[in-house]
């Protein structure tokens, strides 16, 4: 038995050496038990070209207020001021029959000067005719803008829409929109993240180039038509992503042509555009812009699917 003991010790030593050599490195053991992290990706809307962004005083500009904005006159802007082709990627082709939206690289705009418009309001609600008052306060200083639309009538809750944002080479770039009736809800335009966020806790929506809110879209249309009236003959369609306080969707306006209106403020030649309903609960929007008044809205009629309507007709103007 004596000679067997050294042989046994030698055998154990050889097996231990083999086990040590065949043991995987510590890093390999760690990677075998720790799963690899997935590669995360996120797609956001492409930002507007830098040429369309106005200079700002800070990285986080403060929303303008009426007290900060001066009474600037009309501002004429041209989105492309050189002969060089636009460098933004071409948009995906639209489905057949759907008009393509104008982009900031292809349009000229003329922003109306600061003004306050007063309206006589006619409401139809459940077969009842009511009369009220309305006001559109529009202020811009060439860099920022603020718009406020208010109306009230007996037996009807007053309503206020408010939009603030910047003025760019492509027109208006809203930052915040609010709608106040029974309560107040708001929408925020986050261009860095390419999204629209809603205070009503609805899901975020993608923010597309040229997007507007339900108030700024009226002034953006005025700026587009004033910038190049010849580009908008009758039957022309204009598609603009338009955000309310709960959703954003493409609104398609069709140019109806020029009409003569007999308004409380006097006779006015006006350029009519119509947004026809596309879904069951869509509102019909009829807008009249006055060429002789910097294309500001002189009449706005909203008609609900049940026939209820609000018709705001220009009665007087305050400037300054």
Cross-strand bridge partners of residue 260: 269
Spatial distance between the Cα atoms of 133 and 302, rounded to a whole number of angstroms: 15
Low-confidence ranges of the chain (pLDDT < 50): 1-2, 4, 7-68, 70, 76-105
Q: How many CB atoms lie within 10 A of CB 120?
A: 17
SS3 state of residue 10: helix
Q: Where are the domains of the chain?
A: 61-81+99-319
- Report pLDDT for 106: 59
Query: Residue 150's pLDDT is what?
Result: 96
Looking at residue 154, its pLDDT comes to: 87
Question: 260: Cβ–Cβ under 8 A, 6 or more apart, which residues?
Answer: 267, 268, 269, 270
User: 261 in helix, strand or coil?
Assistant: strand
Model confidence over 110-121: pLDDT tens digits?
A: 999 999 999 999
DSSP at 88: S
pLDDT at 155: 83
Q: What is the four-CA torsion angle of 90, 277, 293, 241, rounded to 10 degrees?
A: -30
E strands in the chain = 75-78, 108-111, 115-125, 128-140, 144-153, 156-168, 171-180, 184-190, 195-198, 205-206, 212-213, 237-243, 248-263, 266-275, 284-290, 296-303, 309-319
The string of pLDDT tens digits covering residues 214-243 is 999 999 999 999 999 999 999 999 999 999
Given this model, what pLDDT does residue 281 score? Answer: 87
Give how far Cα 58 sits from Cα of 54, 55, 62, Å. Answer: 12, 9, 9
pLDDT for residue 69: 55
Domain 61-81+99-319 has CATH 2.40.360: yes
What sign has the CA pseudo-torsion 205, 207, 211, 216? Answer: positive
């Amino acid at each position: 038995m004596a000679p067997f003991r050294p042989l046994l010790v030698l055998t154990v030593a050889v097996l231990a050496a083999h086990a040590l050599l065949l043991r995987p490195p510590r890093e390999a053991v760690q990677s075998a038990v720790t799963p690899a992290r997935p590669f995360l990706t996120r797609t956001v809307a492409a930002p507007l070209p830098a040429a369309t962004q106005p200079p700002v005083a800070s990285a986080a500009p403060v929303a303008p207020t009426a007290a900060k904005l001066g009474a600037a006159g009309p501002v004429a802007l041209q989105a492309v001021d050189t002969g060089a082709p636009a460098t933004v990627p071409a948009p995906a082709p639209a489905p057949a029959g759907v008009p393509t939206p104008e982009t900031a690289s292809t349009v000229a705009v003329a922003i109306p000067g600061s003004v306050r418009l007063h309206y006589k309001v006619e409401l139809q609600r459940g077969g009842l005719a009511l009369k009220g008052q309305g006001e559109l306060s529009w202020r811009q200083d060439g860099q920022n803008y603020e718009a406020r639309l208010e109306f009230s009538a007996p037996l009807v809750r007053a309503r206020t829409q408010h939009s603030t944002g910047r003025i760019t080479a492509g027109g208006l770039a809203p930052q915040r929109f609010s709608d106040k009736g029974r309560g107040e809800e708001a929408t925020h335009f986050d261009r860095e993240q390419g999204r629209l966020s809603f205070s009503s806790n609805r899901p975020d929506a993608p923010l597309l180039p040229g997007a507007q809110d339900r108030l700024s879209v009226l002034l953006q249309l005025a700026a587009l038509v004033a910038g190049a009236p010849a580009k908008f003959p009758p039957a022309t369609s204009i598609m603009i992503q338009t955000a309310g306080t709960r959703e954003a969707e493409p609104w398609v306006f069709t140019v109806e042509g020029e009409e003569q209106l007999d308004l409380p403020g006097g006779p006015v030649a006006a350029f009519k555009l119509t947004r026809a309903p596309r879904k069951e609960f869509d509102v019909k929007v009829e807008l009249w812009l006055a060429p002789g008044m910097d294309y500001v809205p002189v009449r706005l009629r909203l008609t609900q699917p049940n026939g209820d309507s609000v018709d705001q007709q220009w009665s007087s103007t305050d400037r300054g």
